[in-house]
Structure 1
Amino acid sequence: MIAENKIVTLQYNVKDSDGTLIDSSEANDPLVYMHGAHNIITGLESALLGKASGDSFDVVIEPLDAYGEHNPELVQVVPKSAFEGVEQIEPGMVFTADTPNGPMQLTVTAMEGDDVTIDPNHPLAGKTLHFTGSISDIRDATEEELEHGHVHGAGGHDH
């Protein structure tokens, strides 16, 4: 059964409220994570608690339990000169900026002359997510995984 410090392997699809596929493990490797270590969004982690290997899931996660609400106050306009060394800037481009709170992902949402509108909200902020899938394996975490707070080896992280 899925519980804290279990390593869980699952196949999943995630769609938005319009039914548009956002991500899927079907064409890739399955998702492998350590339950209770905040390696996945809280709403999905809560929904999977207590499930067993072979179980299916179909769950709707509201923004608060996914990537939060979209905060329009975070959107700002910066001068093109802030993108030193970047020749071509277009809406949809994603950059990583170093901030006092660590690296932050920024998406360019608009360009007007030398003004660049950037949005540091997560791309899925404000979206309700619909996850479907199945649990394919559950195992105990190793001592090393417990120490590091994430999966090691196949499907996980190698040091």
Structure 2
Amino acid sequence: MKAEKGNKVKVHYTGTLNDGSVFDTSIGREPLEFELGSGQVIPGFEEAIMGMEIGEKKTVTIPSNEAYGEYSEEKIFELPRQSFPSNIDEALGQTVQLGDQSGNVFLAKILEVTDETVKMDTNHPLAGKDLTFEIELIEIN
């Protein structure tokens, strides 16, 4: 039986960057379970699993445009300092959770804090990076 769109699958995986550093893995945890074709994982990851059989292992490199997208300067912006708590200086370099007026929540890395503004980067931390995954298909339902 081969994995196809609509199947619920369980996989073990390890994701690495070009320098070999591991950014995520399911090893030591429960396998990742999701429905193929549902958009729950990045497109390139889903594509890699299509057609795999239970017990099959493969290594794939997913280009950034099929993963978390290209890094975009347009996702860096400045907000007025008074919009933030007074201890924002302590968060420099950290990723914080923000909300917009529509109630959407997103993550932003604080790049710079001045007396007037806070410069933030809302790109995904893995944007612009090619990702390599070692994948093992454990189960198909």
The question of a shared fold, defined as TM-score above 0.5 by the shorter chain, is answered with yes
Give the 3-state SS of the residue equivalent to 1:59 in structure 2: strand
Shift of 1:115: 2.7
Match of 2:132 in 1: 130
Percent of aligned pairs with the same amino acid: 27
Instruction: After superposition, give the CA deviation of every residue in 1:53-85 in whole Å (9 maximum; x if it has no partner).
Output: 100010000011001001012201222222247
Match of 1:44 in 2: 45
Aligned ranges for residues 85-104 of structure 1 at < 5 Å?
Answer: 88-100=90-102, 102-104=104-106
For 2:53 and 2:98, locate their aligned partners in 1 and report how far apart those are by CA, in whole Å: 38
- In structure 2, the CA distance between the partners of 1:27 and 1:81, relative to structure 1 (3 Å rule), is farther
1:73 and 2:74 are equivalent in the alignment? yes
1:33 and 2:53 are equivalent in the alignment? no
Unpaired segments ≥5 residues, structure 2: none
Unpaired segments ≥5 residues, structure 1: 140-159
For 2:27 and 2:4, locate their aligned partners in 1 and report how far apart those are by CA, in whole Å: 24
Number of aligned residue pairs: give it: 139
For 2:122 and 2:52, locate their aligned partners in 1 and report how far apart those are by CA, in whole Å: 34
Q: Which residue identity lines up with residue 94 of structure 2 in the other structure?
A: G
Give the 3-state SS of the residue equivalent to 2:5 in structure 1: coil
Question: Is the Cα–Cα contact under 8 Å of residues 108 and 116 in structure 1 kept in the other structure?
Answer: yes
Instruction: After superposition, give the CA deviation of every residue in 1:82-106 in whole Å (9 maximum; x if it has no partner).
Output: 2247664321232232254832222
State TM-score, norm by structure 1. Answer: 0.79
Give the 3-state SS of the residue equivalent to 2:13 in structure 1: strand
For 1:56 and 1:18, locate their aligned partners in 2 and report how far apart those are by CA, in whole Å: 22
What's the C-alpha RMSD, in Å, of the aligned pairs?
1.8
State TM-score, norm by structure 2. Answer: 0.89
